[in-house]
Amino acid sequence: MSDDILERVVPWPADLAHAYRAAGCWRGRPLGSYLWDWARRRPDRVAIVDGEVRLTYRELAERADGLAAGFAASGLARGDTVLVQLPNQWEFVVVTLACFRLGVAPVMMLPPHREHELASIGAHVRAKALIVPDTLKGYDHQDLAERVAATLPGPARVLVVGDEVRAGNVDVRGLIKQSGDPEARRQWLDEHAPAASDVAVFLLSGGTTGVPKVIGRTHDDYEYNIRRCAAACGFDPDTVYLTVLPAGHNFPLANPGILGALYAGGRAVLLPSPRPEPVFEAIEAEGVTVTSAVPAVVLKWMEAAAASPRDLRTLRHVHVGGSVLAPEVAARIGPSLGCRVQQVYGMAEGLVCYTAPDAADEEAHGTQGRPISPFDELLLVDPDGEPVAPGEVGELLTRGPYTPRGYFGVPEVNRQSFTPDGWFRTGDLVRLTPAGNVVVCGRVKDLINRGGEKISAAEVETLAQELPAVAEAAAVAMPDPALGERVCLFARLHAGHTLTLEQLCAALTARGLAAFKLPERLVVLDAFPHTAVGKADKKVLRTMV
């Protein structure tokens, strides 16, 4: 990895790294090296399905190698970072694997992200390229990427997946089709592979504040994460995993998700959206055995399933996580969809908990499961940082072989988000059942969880406060039956100013904020409630929502 990246990644202490290696958690192999193992074992099995496109394991490996070589030819090298903003399409998987092969770390942006997110994170990781679709849902991502690239400190290329690649940009499909001797290319990539301790992928923290918080996941730690998740969920060569959540999110990417399905020799089917009817159609057509979703999406499926003519009998499990799933809803999933529910409590920062595939109803419906690794450490503390009594609610701190010791390049944030002895403060309030299952009870971090999309209150407030009309702003969660929470913005205005929700949203959009973060309610107050230290009193504001 380049020195520049290395010095901004917080490593595990050497003795623990040694212990994780000795215990077989970390295998010392870069993720890209698995690609040809898979391809040799099952060359002609279908690995990826995207509409009409069906890629076998051999084709997947060949295309990833072709693209890795193409990346190298277009100037990218081991240690570089690239922003990847692609929808669920086969090229996303090839791009990700090509990055793993070459040792270029993709930063997994989400399709709704705009200038505000792309530019700040691109600058933070010093991205060398942006990989985007030409257009998506009528929005010109190529144009967005060009505008963002122009703001980045180094020269940054724009790589485009699509038919309309403009002059000066790079055609990703063209790179994939690269000619040349595949055997020589494979050897070259093997010889130039990254180290297993390098960052394989950068994930975005759900709780990004004013400062971009990205998590560098190493090849070693992410491989272990994938391997343990696949084992916890019983993934095997018969697994057909349906991807409906944005593939760049940790949950569908690697928990066990797409990479877990490939790891197990199964198949990943990609759909661009979680709309019920196409989902049911895909389950029937492809014999899908497992999928994952956030509670808001599963609720839509449950409503639609009764009226659907599709045969969902192949579906054995649905993994539900990302935000709170009410036990009553969990209990209805089985009867509605004809499958079992596995709850997942996970985070981009690492720790993942799963209920067992065959768990009793009490565990499957009422808990968020157990950590996937015996090396995961969980500590529940009170507001003073003291351990709580068994069975009591506390803030969850965690450490382990796939939970990095810090965010990338933000030492001052790390001093708050991690304890001096390396525990990550999840900001979640949980309790543990006597059997060791986690139950999420609330949270202390200032996040709004909109159907699994995490929105930092601080990020919205900071942008709102920059508007000329706004004297003071505070974003709080307003409860919502479908999404769990939505953003409500409280604002005090400067004398003589007015502000409507439409004006507020237009102004935030103009500042490049992703649409899913826009407030859906604006409350203008003449006077703000304050805490003793003079901060907006969110406890009081929440009672006013």
Count of helix runs (H) and strand runs (E) in the chain? 20, 27
Cross-strand pairs, 342? 319
Which amino acid is residue 253, in one-letter code?
Answer: L
CB–CB of 60/116 below 8 Å? no
Nearest approach in angstroms of CB 430 to ligand OOB is: 9
The first and second tokens of residue 87, run together, are 């929808």
Q: Which is nearer to ligand OOB, 142 or 225 (CB)?
A: 225
The first and second tokens of residue 373, run together, are 């690794």
Residue showing the smallest CB distance to ligand OOB in the complex: 346
Q: Which is nearer to ligand OOB, 70 or 322 (CB)?
A: 322
Q: Which is nearer to ligand OOB, 222 or 528 (CB)?
A: 222
**In this structure, how many other beta carbons lie within 10 angstroms of the beta carbon of residue 310?**
16
Q: Which is nearer to ligand OOB, 72 or 253 (CB)?
A: 253
Nearest approach in angstroms of CB 412 to ligand OOB is: 21
| φ, ψ dihedrals at 113, nearest 5° | -65, 145
Q: Give the DSSP letter string of 436-488.
A: S-EEEEEE-S-EEEETTEEEEHHHHHHHHHTSTTEEEEEEEEEEETTTEEEEE
Nearest approach in angstroms of CB 123 to ligand OOB is: 22
Q: Which is nearer to ligand OOB, 66 or 256 (CB)?
A: 256
Q: Which is nearer to ligand OOB, 70 or 212 (CB)?
A: 212
Q: Which is nearer to ligand OOB, 206 or 409 (CB)?
A: 206
The first and second tokens of residue 346, run together, are 């996970």
Listed in sequence order, the residues at least 6 apart from 210 whose beta carbon sits closer than 8 Å to its beta carbon are 458, 459, 462
Q: How far is it, in rounded angstroms, from Cα 42 to Cα 516?
A: 40
Determine which helix (DSSP H) or strand (DSSP E) holds 217, and give its type and residue range. strand 214-218
Q: Which is nearer to ligand OOB, 69 or 330 (CB)?
A: 330
Q: How far is it, in rounded angstroms, from Cα 141 to Cα 146?
A: 8
Nearest approach in angstroms of CB 250 to ligand OOB is: 4
Nearest approach in angstroms of CB 366 to ligand OOB is: 12
Q: How far is it, in rounded angstroms, from Cα 508 to Cα 504?
A: 6
Provide the edge-to-edge strand list for the sheet that holds 81-84.
Answer: 170-171, 157-161, 129-133, 81-84, 105-108, 199-204, 214-218
Determine which helix (DSSP H) or strand (DSSP E) holds 102, and give its type and residue range. helix 90-102
Q: Which is nearer to ligand OOB, 89 or 250 (CB)?
A: 250
CB–CB of 447/206 below 8 Å? yes
Q: Give the DSSP letter string of 116-132.
A: HHHHHHHHHHT-SEEEE
CB–CB of 195/304 below 8 Å? no
Nearest approach in angstroms of CB 346 to ligand OOB is: 3
Nearest approach in angstroms of CB 39 to ligand OOB is: 27
Q: Which is nearer to ligand OOB, 81 or 255 (CB)?
A: 255
List residues binding ligand OOB (CB under 6 A): 206, 250-251, 255, 321-324, 343-348, 352, 368, 426, 428, 440, 443, 452, 454
Nearest approach in angstroms of CB 296 to ligand OOB is: 12
Nearest approach in angstroms of CB 504 to ligand OOB is: 25
Q: Which is nearer to ligand OOB, 186 or 319 (CB)?
A: 319
CB–CB of 211/410 below 8 Å? yes
Burial code (b: 16+ CB inside 10 Å, e: under 16) for 502-527 equals eebbebbeeebbbebbbbeebbbeee
Q: Which is nearer to ligand OOB, 203 or 507 (CB)?
A: 203
Nearest approach in angstroms of CB 417 to ligand OOB is: 12
Nearest approach in angstroms of CB 376 to ligand OOB is: 14
Q: Which is nearer to ligand OOB, 128 or 450 (CB)?
A: 450
Q: How far is it, in rounded angstroms, from Cα 496 to Cα 477?
A: 28
Nearest approach in angstroms of CB 381 to ligand OOB is: 15
- Tokens 């992200």 belong to 113
Q: Which is nearer to ligand OOB, 254 or 279 (CB)?
A: 254
Nearest approach in angstroms of CB 389 to ligand OOB is: 23
CA 244 to chain centre: 13
- Kindly give the pairing relationship between strand 484-493 and strand 521-524: parallel
CA distances from 505 to 229, 466, 520 (A): 39, 13, 9
Nearest approach in angstroms of CB 447 to ligand OOB is: 7
CA distances from 272 to 21, 368, 502 (A): 38, 27, 29
Burial of 501 (0-12, 13-18, 19+ CB in 10 A): middle
